[in-house]
């Protein structure tokens, strides 16, 4: 038996979650069985905990898009019992059971060994948010954006993706400007992370002109909608934006002018289905650049029973930084 948090619907269609014991047959398929040390709480987990049908495809489901743990059984040649591994996305907590459980079956195809630089708790604190931040920063590096090219704008900056992006960019020597809806409350937090300036998100959240005064060499966006469109309209010639999220909206109500008049590039970031090569590259960047003391300064540890309430608070915009979930 294993203890897990399960999201389900009752007869009236009401979504509920409960922590209970399930048998190993409940855990589904996969060539690795792991003892989960930690999962984490991401925006998508908060949606799953609320039963959002856009995230959870089947009910009942164990949420948790991240899992860090030790292999107990392996049918994969590359992994042995005792290996400490990390898996981000790959359908966990969406198309199949995720990490809010003591034991979990996963597929080796998207699984990597946790870099030795990190404890399992730190690996989960990084989680999908940090992995996505690293994929985004890695994408800017691959496109040749250099610290000397100018400022980088990070949107949704108090969130998990935003916070870790600011830190990684600062570590790499970039000048970072943070965009947030909570300047008063978290301005100091963002400056401590490495932002040289903190801007109110209201400046970019409404409809703007298709081309605006050029300022940014790069943008790491997790917000979408008007914010991303305005950020694109403010990118300097040849600059690059990454888009991973939709905290403001999934729409992109803009024009092609930044692309055809300033050679701006827009790169999509997908952590769920990222191939192994990109996963290894992003985790290597994290291992090289991330200061674990900084990570721990904005990470909270939650039990399974606390996850649903924390998810609701996250959706209400009342959290910041990262939370790990200990099953
Ligand atoms: N593509 C992928 O693979 C991938 C992976 C991870 C995450 N994501 C997506 O990226 C986004 C961020 O994820 P996360 O885990 O960092 O979430 P998070 O911790 O909840 O952070 C989201 C941040 O967005 C800002 N925000 C919230 N509502 C907003 C609004 N209406 N308008 C503008 N900004 C708003 C808030 O920052 P401020 O208060 O500082 O403004 C909030 O802290 C989510 O949409 C998530 O689904 C995508």
Residues 147 and 244 in one domain: yes
Does some domain include residue 279? Answer: no
Distance CA 82, CA 60 (A): 30
CA atoms of 166 and 189, how far apart (whole Å): 11
Which ligand 1 atom sits closest to the C-alpha of 181?
A: 41
164, 127 contact by CB (below 8 A): no
| 59 & 146 share domain | no
Residue 227 near ligand 1, beta carbon < 6 Å: yes
Query: Are 108 and 194 part of one and the same domain?
Result: no
Statement to judge: residues 146 and 218 lie in one domain: yes
The structural domain count of the chain equals 2
Q: Are residues 186 and 86 part of one domain? A: no
End-to-end CA distance of the chain: 13
**Is position 242 within any domain?**
yes
pLDDT of residue 19: 97
Q: Are residues 104 and 136 in the same domain?
A: no
Return the best residue to mutate from 247, 278, 282 for the ligand 1 pocket (most ligand atoms within 8 A of CB): 247
Per-residue pLDDT at 313: 97
Question: 133 C-alpha vs ligand 1 centroid, how far in Å?
Answer: 11
CA of 71 to the centre of ligand 1 (A): 31
Are 209 and 163 within one domain? yes
The domain boundary, picked from 250, 268, 286, lies at 268
Is 283 inside a domain boundary?
no
Q: Round to whole Å and give the CA distance between 287 and 154.
A: 21
C-alpha of residue 11 to centroid of ligand 1, in Å = 32
pLDDT at 57: 80
Which CATH number fits the domain that encloses residue 80? 3.90.180.10
Query: Do residue 182 and residue 58 come from a single domain?
Result: no
The residue from 268, 285, 305 where one domain ends is 268
Does 280 fall in a domain?
no
The verdict on residue 44 lying in a domain is: yes
- Which domain covers residue 94, as residue numbers? 2-114+295-326
The upper half-sphere exposure of residue 215, i.e. CA atoms within 13 Å in the direction of its Cβ, equals 13
CATH number at residue 182: 3.40.50.720
Domain annotation covers residue 151: yes
Q: How far is the centre of ligand 1, averaged over its atoms, from the C-alpha of 224 (Å)?
A: 9
The verdict on residue 281 lying in a domain is no
Any atom of ligand 1 within 6 Å of the Cβ of 314 = yes
The secondary element (H helix, E strand) that includes residue 164 is helix 160-171
Domain boundary among 230, 252, 268: 268
- 33 and 72 in contact (C-beta within 8 Å)? yes
Same-domain check for residues 143 and 248? yes
Co-location of 98 and 184 in the same domain: no
Question: Do residues 93 and 173 share a domain?
Answer: no
pLDDT in tens, the chain (327 residues): 999 999 999 889 889 999 999 998 999 899 999 999 999 999 999 999 999 989 988 899 999 999 999 999 999 999 999 999 999 999 999 999 999 999 999 999 999 999 999 999 999 999 999 999 999 999 999 999 999 999 999 999 999 999 999 999 999 999 999 999 999 999 999 999 999 999 999 999 999 999 999 999 999 999 999 999 999 999 999 999 999 999 999 999 999 999 999 999 999 999 999 999 999 999 999 999 999 999 999 999 999 999 999 999 999 999 999 999 999
The H or E element spanning position 322 is strand 322-326
Q: What is the pLDDT of residue 28?
A: 84
Return d(Cα 323, Cα 218) in angstroms, integer.
Answer: 28
Q: Are residues 83 and 215 located together in one domain of the fold?
A: no
Is residue 276 in some structural domain? no
């Amino acid at each position: 038996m294993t203890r897990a948090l399960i999201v389900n619907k009752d007869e009236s269609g009401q979504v509920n979650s409960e922590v209970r014991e399930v048998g190993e047959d409940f855990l589904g398929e996969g060539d690795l069985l792991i003892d989960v040390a930690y999962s984490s709480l991401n925006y998508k987990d908060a949606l799953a905990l609320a039963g959002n049908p856009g995230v959870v495809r089947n009910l009942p489901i164990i949420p948790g898009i991240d899992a860090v743990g030790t292999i107990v059984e392996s049918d994969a040649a590359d992994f042995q019992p005792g290996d400490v591994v990390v898996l981000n996305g790959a359908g966990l907590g969406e198309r199949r059971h995720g990490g809010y459980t003591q034991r979990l079956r996963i597929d080796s195809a998207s699984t990597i060994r946790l870099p030795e630089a990190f404890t399992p708790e730190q690996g989960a604190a990084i989680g999908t948010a940090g992995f996505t931040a690293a994929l985004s920063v890695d994408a800017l590096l691959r496109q040749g954006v250099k610290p000397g090219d100018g400022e980088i704008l990070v949107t949704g900056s108090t969130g998990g993706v935003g916070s870790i992006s600011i830190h990684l960019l600062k570590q790499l020597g970039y000048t970072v400007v943070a965009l947030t809806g909570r300047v008063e409350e978290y301005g100091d937090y963002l400056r401590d992370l490495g932002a040289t300036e903190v801007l109110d998100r209201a400046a970019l959240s409404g409809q703007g002109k298709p081309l605006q005064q050029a300022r940014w060499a790069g943008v790491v966006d997790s917000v979408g909608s008007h914010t991303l469109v305005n950020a694109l309209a403010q990118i300097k010639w040849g600059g690059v934006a990454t888009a991973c999220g939709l905290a403001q909206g999934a729409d992109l109500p803009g024009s092609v002018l930044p692309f055809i008049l300033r050679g701006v590039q827009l790169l999509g970031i997908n952590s769920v289905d990222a191939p192994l090569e990109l996963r290894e590259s992003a985790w290597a960047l994290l291992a090289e650049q991330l200061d674990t003391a900084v990570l721990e300064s904005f990470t909270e540890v939650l039990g399974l029973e606390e996850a649903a309430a924390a998810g609701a608070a996250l959706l209400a915009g009342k959290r910041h930084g990262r939370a790990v979930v200990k099953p």
